[in-house]
């Protein structure tokens, strides 16, 4: 495994660690969404780095997924979840109505779904890279 690939995976693990620390705080559910998006993005970028795919400055999970899907051995990921995380991840850091779902802050159940998705993606990417 390339050293930069490992660095991407380590950075994704840091995002998962943050989620684990804040997941029970209802008022931080939008921050869970941010870190879930970041963990998935970094895992996708680990695959991109390892396989030498061009994805310069792309942050959209859906767009990145299209570039790495071929390396996931037929495992399909939830594009709806990726679109939700993409819609929340930038705006989650700003006040006001930004970073919210149409119904407001993500619920605790939704935050746990974001966490589960990010963990599943990271585990899949790790398994893929470790052969």
Q: Which residues of the chain have pLDDT under 50?
A: none
Q: What is the DSSP letter of 57?
A: T
Residue 124 makes CB contacts below 8 A (sequence gap 6+) with: 72, 75, 77
Residue 30 confidence (pLDDT): 87
Question: How far apart are the C-alpha atoms of 23 and 29, rounded to whole Å?
Answer: 7
Q: All domains of the chain, ordered by start, with CATH?
A: 3-130 (1.20.120.330)
- What are the pLDDT digits (tens) for 26-43? 989 989 999 999 999 999
- What are the pLDDT digits (tens) for 52-70? 998 878 899 999 999 999 9
pTM for this model (two decimals): 0.91
Residue 129 confidence (pLDDT): 96
């Amino acid at each position: 495994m390339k050293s930069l690939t490992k660095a991407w995976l380590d950075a994704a693990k840091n995002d998962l660690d943050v989620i684990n620390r804040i997941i029970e705080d209802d008022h931080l559910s939008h921050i869970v969404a941010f870190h879930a998006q970041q963990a998935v993005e970094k895992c996708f970028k680990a695959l991109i780095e390892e396989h030498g795919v061009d994805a310069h400055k792309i942050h959209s999970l859906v767009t990145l997924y299209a570039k790495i899907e071929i390396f996931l051995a037929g495992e399909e990921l939830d594009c709806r979840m990726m679109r939700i995380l993409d819609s929340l991840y930038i705006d989650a850091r700003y006040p006001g109505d930004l970073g919210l779902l149409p119904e407001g802050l993500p619920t605790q159940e939704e935050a746990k779904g974001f966490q589960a998705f990010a963990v599943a993606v990271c585990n899949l990417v790790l398994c893929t890279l470790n052969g």
